[in-house]
Every structure is written in C-alpha cells, then in structure tokens.
Amino acid sequence: MAAVTFKGNPVSISGNLPVVGSRAPAFVLVKGDLSDARLADFAGKTVVLSIFPSIDTPVCAASVRRFNEAVGAKANTVVLCVSADLPFAQGRFCAAEGLKHVVPLSAFRNPEFGTAYGVTVTAGPLRGLFSRAVLVISPAGTVTYAEQVPDIAQEPDYAAALRALA
C-alpha cells in the first residue's frame, strides 16, 4: 500500500496504483446521463485518468480545470475525471465552469474501480472516497505514467503527466 496523507495525517488506501508498463485494469463508471462508460470505449486514444476525492473541494476543482486547459484539446487524447461524486454534481461543476475537454465519470455504482486502481480510502473521515492520482494510459491500454499524489490535499505533478503525453 502506498503511503498517503491528508493534510499531513496518514490515510489508509486499498492498495497501489497499476505500475507503468502494466495493462490498465478494465472499468465501468457512470457518465452524466447515467449510462456506463468503459475503459474499452476509449481504446485507440491516450487516456488521462485524473482521480480525486470530490469535485466539491478546491484542489480537485483546480485539477479538473487544469487538465481541461492543458490536455483536453490534445488530439487523440481524452481526460477522464473520476470521483465518487454523483454524476449530477460533476455535470453541474463542469457546466458552471464551461469545461468541455474533460469527461467526468462517477464510481458511485462501481466502487470496485477504487480497489482495482488502489485508490480507495479505507479508514478515517474520507473513507470510501478516492485518493488523488493521475495515470496516463496508451492507446494500446498500457499504463505509461502513474502518480499517487503523496498528500490528498496537494495538486498532482501536472508537468510530469504532460511529459508522459509527448
């Protein structure tokens, strides 16, 4: 299990991120219209998985905005913003912010996503939410970049994630 903190306090999470070079675990998440979205739906594209606890926090919101701006319009690339938030909350945020280059996806019906990706917080006040992580998945489905952000209250290393897209 990765060492993760929240504002300096240790947080237990469900495991470890998939390692670079491994096949990204398949998943089913929920889109804003309540239909399913699968990793396979994005085959042939570079996928940026931006995983976070809740869109309703300043750091998570900043992360979604940043990826929308930096990656969203990049050819053959899709940014999937994944949290346990309800799809309605995710949709309201993206609409209010005018974010058109990210795809918000909810794990509210599919908590196994957090286990497969090693990001579910297993104890404490954030139990059931996700830690902050970023993965880049190649068009062939291989993990080419993985960052488990050491403190959930910190933003990810955007520069490193963007370099992984080159």
Known catalytic residues are 60
Contact 53, 21 (CB under 8 A): no
**Cα–Cα dist 99/86, whole Å:** 17
HSE (CB half, 13 Å, CA atoms) of 62?
10
Minimal CA–CA distance to 129: which of 151, 107, 146, 103? Answer: 107
CA angle 30, 56, 160 (to 5 degrees): 80
β-bridge partners, 103: 80
Strands 46-51 and 77-83, bridge-based pairing: parallel
